[in-house]
Chains A and B, each alone.
Chain A
Amino acid sequence: MTTTPARRDRARRSPLLTALTALMLIYSLVPLVWLFVNSTKTQASLLDSFGLWFSGDFSLLTNIRDTLTYDDGVFVRWLGNTLLYVVIGAGGATALATLGGYALAKFDFPGKRGVFATVIGAVAVPGTALAVPTFLMFAKLGLTNTPWAVIIPSLISPFGLYLMWTYAAQAIPGELMEAARVDGAGELRTFLRVCVPLLAPGIVTVALFTMVATWNNYFLPLIMLKDPDWYPLTLGLNAWNDQAATAGGEPIFHLVITGSLLTILPLLAAFLFLQRYWQSGLTAGGVKD
């Protein structure tokens, strides 16, 4: 048992696979490199220089300052909006998925199979397909053009719920819950004190990908919001990009690029910070032990 994995590793080492992985690595990194290189250029040198190398003055700091102050600092406002949507939307989605997944995994109640079918079905429906009906519904409620129109739909994550369900089923031994109950802990206490710590890797995983989904959300806010004051970064940057295509508009591609760089930094940080949870979370339930 202890020697097998090592031997298997050696047998599988292949130059072809290494080369393919290296290619994938380059493929994934080139856009990032491009983004960084070009965010150091001015609008003028952006247009008359080679895309993958530096040119002209190193104006990254000027660009960052301009991005943050352009149009009365609207970028900062958009950043704040995105953070609001992520904290409440993704945070709420994670909390709901944890509660629901735990309940579905550890309690028996009538209609559980129905819930299962619904959740699995919902995983298959892309959010984009629901955006228009959601819009019409929210319009009836008078919620369009408010932050709620973005936050409420973000609270629902069928995939998160499914993942927490499988994770909770594997990670929490029924005996442990029994023991807690025998010792006199109430249901809430059992959940918070005994189960949540066991679920932590799963929670982080769900939090990470609902965060990514909300951070990158484009279509939903696009049809829900018209007031730029409530735009998340994705919509705001697109509005800046469109400015170049307007009669009398000022092209600000350099700020769009710098803004994009600033936009992905928090996500990169979150991933580097939480990646070990991410890995252990995704493989959970893959192997039965």
Chain B
Amino acid sequence: MFTNRRAFLRAAAALTAVVTTAALAACGSGDDGETGTPVSADQVQAALDAGGSITVWAWEPTLKQVVTAFEAKYPKVKVNLVNAGTGNDQYTALQNAVAAGSGVPDVAQIEYYALPQFALGKSLTDLTAFGTGELDGTFTPGPWSSVKSGGGVYGLPMDSGPMALFYNKDVFDKHQIAVPTTWDEYVAAAKKLHAADPKAYITNDTGDAGFTTSLIWQAGGKPFSVDGTNVKINLGDEGSSKFASTWQQLLDGKLVAPVGSWSDGWYKGLGDGTIATLVIGAWMPANLESGVPAAKGKWRVAPMPQWTAGANAAAENGGSSLAIPKAGANNALAYGFLKYATAGDGVKIRIDNGAFPATNAELKSDAFLNKEFPYFGGQKANEIFAKSAAAVVPGWSYLPFQVYANSIFNDTVGQAYVSDKKLADTLKSWQDASAKYGKEQGFTVG
């Protein structure tokens, strides 16, 4: 099963490579300089009233209810919601459809880390033509800057994942460990916990690109910078080094559980206390409630540990946007749906079903902040998440080929988890392998 998936990811990555090259070649030829004719709000409204049908590719579960409500509000519109795969699977399908020029959906869910790849490949509609300027201030800073690329806006933020520390209070109480507020304390807690109970680990980690980049992000690292087709990769900058030296201590002491996130073993560990904390995005509560019901009441939320005592820095982890592929047939109608789902009535429906918003209005509303989570023993966890969202370190960007880079993360950085190689060195190998790929794709990589 695992090797199959590996093989598949490789094949998918290879295919993606072909497609990206083609896309870059196309944009290099200079025939694609259109800015897009403005589409007014009235025109979007007219499209919604006139009706029609759009196809939406998304795997996010709460969109089902959003579509139902949307169709009730605009009875002439038919939304065909298709789960074309989760994450990478869907990106491969989308790249294929774009390359083949047929079967491209009108709307697609794209995670923030993958968005630059599609935006730079000219596969997505620049939404500024729809007047996205009016949405300034609607979304929290992290997600809003994630959907912007080179002056364009290529998606509307659907959810966000400001990070927080989720911890199993029972385990911490049992071994009388204080909840860590800095990463140094976190390492100390990891040692104390594992010494007290050799079966218990502070957290699990087998090498996860999303997690690693988020922690570097919080540490103030800016390993990726992009200016047009000029890309710089430096996974040895100060923030990256801070992460590497701290995390190396956990690896050296074998203090993280060798369990992959989202596996059955992971859900098991979260339930039985052998995985005592998670530093993860604010969308996690819904997953704990449905995936680990047995641990209800045991878990709590705290702010993310800091790199400097007393600081208040956070990062985003995960989260997706909704984007409009260029080849889609009915852009005005698609934008009507996008706005409804990300900035209109859809937001509340999604929050009610457990999603975490990316909109300021909801994040600041009393109803949201005062919500008590029975799963966290009645704690008002949203207060912590909202503070984290406001503290996200600005200026982060992903690579325009991050999907590929993340797919080779385990081949490079993953080595540090299973051999004597040092994390800092493996980050350098990841950098080299990514740079090599970038050059092959026609980027200038410095």
Contact = CB atoms under 8 A, between A and B. Distances in A.
The A interface is mostly helix, strand or loop, or mixed, namely: helix
B100 A226 contact: no
A139 interface: yes
A246 interface: yes
Interface of A: 44, 46-48, 128, 132, 135-136, 139-140, 142, 144-145, 218-219, 222-223, 226-228, 239, 242-251, 253
A248 B283 contact: yes
Contacts of A139: 96-97, 100-103
Contact of B85 (A128, A132, A239): A239
Contacts, number: 106
Given A132-B11, A248-B60, A249-B61, 14 more contacts: A44-B293, A46-B264, A47-B264, A144-B103, A219-B8, A226-B93, A226-B103, A227-B84, A239-B86, A246-B61, A247-B281, A247-B283, A248-B354, A250-B290
A246 B158 CA distance: 14
23 contacts: A47-B267, A48-B268, A48-B271, A136-B99, A136-B100, A139-B96, A144-B97, A219-B8, A222-B8, A223-B92, A226-B85, A228-B83, A242-B89, A243-B86, A245-B87, A245-B261, A246-B59, A246-B60, A246-B61, A247-B159, A248-B61, A248-B283, A248-B355
A48 B291 CA distance: 13
Contacts of B102: 139-140, 142, 144
Contacts of A46: 264
B278 to A, nearest CB: 13
A98 B193 CA distance: 67
Contact of A247 (B60, B271, B294): B60
B262 interface: yes
Contacts of A142: 102
Contacts of A228: 82-83
B93 A247 contact: no
Interface of B: 4, 8, 11, 15, 57, 59-62, 82-87, 89, 92-93, 96-97, 99-103, 159, 161, 261-262, 264, 267-268, 271-272, 281, 283-284, 286-287, 290-291, 293-294, 318-319, 353-356
B62 A244 contact: no
Nearest to A226: B84
A135 B61 CA distance: 28
The 4 closest A-B pairs by CB, nearest first: A139-B100, A245-B262, A247-B283, A226-B84
B82 A226 contact: yes
Contact of A239 (B62, B83, B271): B83
Contact of A248 (B15, B85, B353): B353
Given A48-B271, A219-B8, A223-B93, A245 B100 contact: no
A50 to B, nearest CB: 12
Nearest to A142: B102
A21 to B, nearest CB: 26
Contacts of A44: 293-294
Contacts of A250: 61, 290-291
A132 B251 CA distance: 40
B226 to A, nearest CB: 26
A248 B84 contact: no
Nearest to A228: B83
Contacts of A242: 59, 85-86, 89
Interface centre among A226, A243, A248 (most CB of B within 10 A): A248
A247 B355 CA distance: 8
A142 B318 CA distance: 34
A226 B286 contact: no
A245 B210 CA distance: 13
A248 B83 contact: no
A139 B327 CA distance: 14
Nearest to B88: A242
A77 B102 CA distance: 25
B315 to A, nearest CB: 16
Nearest to B269: A47
